[in-house]
Amino acid sequence: MQMNATYTSLVAVGDSFTEGMSDLLPDGSYRGWADLLAARMAERTPGFRYANLAVRGKLIGQIVDEQVATAAAMRPDVITLVGGLNDTLRPKVDMGRVRGLLEEAVERLAPACKQLVLMRSPGRNGPVLERFRPRMEELFACVDGLAERHGALVVDLYGAPSLADPRLWDVDRLHLTAEGHRRVAEAVWQTLGYEPEDADWHTPMAPTPPPGWVARRTADARFAKQHLLPWIGRRLTGRSSGDGRPAKRPELLPYEGPVG
């Protein structure tokens, strides 16, 4: 990693985490950490170009099939790749296949850019994380090994205490809030060698009184109805929230920054 780095282009590859859910803008679109990162980089480099190929719900196989070749052909300075977590959350998953596909993605992307960035994705505290934690940690061990072999950087969001805080997660309990995305952008920014703008992004927020029993049960019921049951339904029918949805920003073009 070089300090005071200068990069002229960025391509983001992945799923809903990189698309930016649930960092909602007034016009109904999503911003997210990748847009925030691109905006910062564009402020330092005139003519900075940015593409975001991420689509919500994508599995690692779909990312490899639909995004990797496009990203590699753009030959940007920086590529970020975050994928595989959706696979680990499936009731049944072949982790050997997931590791193999992630390795294929890294082998194709690393030579196509000056700097490949991988991540150990964040996870909020709670029973869902505990159920899938062994798979997630197997995925992250693979990420670490691939990074070492291919000279990629790893942003350790999984080990950041601040991002385990439920207050940084949206009501769907799967996606970060605007503040969560801001902290991720800062983490990637620093990992790329830029001077910190928030040296304490990984520090947990100040504690607040926990919600009462009634408030927790009400929130649980709303979550189950609005998010959990539809998510289970898509899993059972083989559908995805990203079916038919195009890439967020499919072309590598000059970037002026997100609105809002």
DSSP 8-state symbol, 28: S
Q: How confident is the model at residue 227 (pLDDT cuts 50, 70, 90)?
A: very low
Residue 51's H or E segment, with its range, is strand 49-52
pTM score of the predicted model: 0.86
- Report the pLDDT value the prediction gives residue 229, as an integer from 0 to 100: 52
- Report the pLDDT value the prediction gives residue 73, as an integer from 0 to 100: 98
The three-class DSSP label of residue 120 is strand
| Burial (CB count within 10 angstroms: exposed 0-12, middle 13-18, buried 19+), residue 230 | middle
Residue 251's H or E segment, with its range, is strand 249-254
141: its two tokens: 């061990």
Q: For residue 11, which amino acid is it?
A: V
Distance CA 55, CA 259 (A): 20
* Neighbouring residues of 117: CB distance < 8 A, sequence distance ≥ 6: 78, 79, 80, 81, 152, 153, 154, 155, 188, 191, 192
- Report the pLDDT value the prediction gives residue 132, as an integer from 0 to 100: 87
Average pLDDT rounded to a whole number, residues 65-70: 98
72: its two tokens: 């590699």
155 versus 125: which is more confidently predicted? 155
- Report the pLDDT value the prediction gives residue 90, as an integer from 0 to 100: 87
Q: What is the CA radius of gyration of the chain?
A: 18
* CA count, 13 A, side-chain hemisphere, 34: 32
- Report the pLDDT value the prediction gives residue 40, as an integer from 0 to 100: 96
Whether the pLDDT of residue 246 is over 60: the answer is: yes
Distance CA 61, CA 57 (A): 12
Pairing, β 153-156 against β 115-120: parallel
Length of the chain: 260
Q: How confident is the model at residue 225 (pLDDT cuts 50, 70, 90)?
A: very low
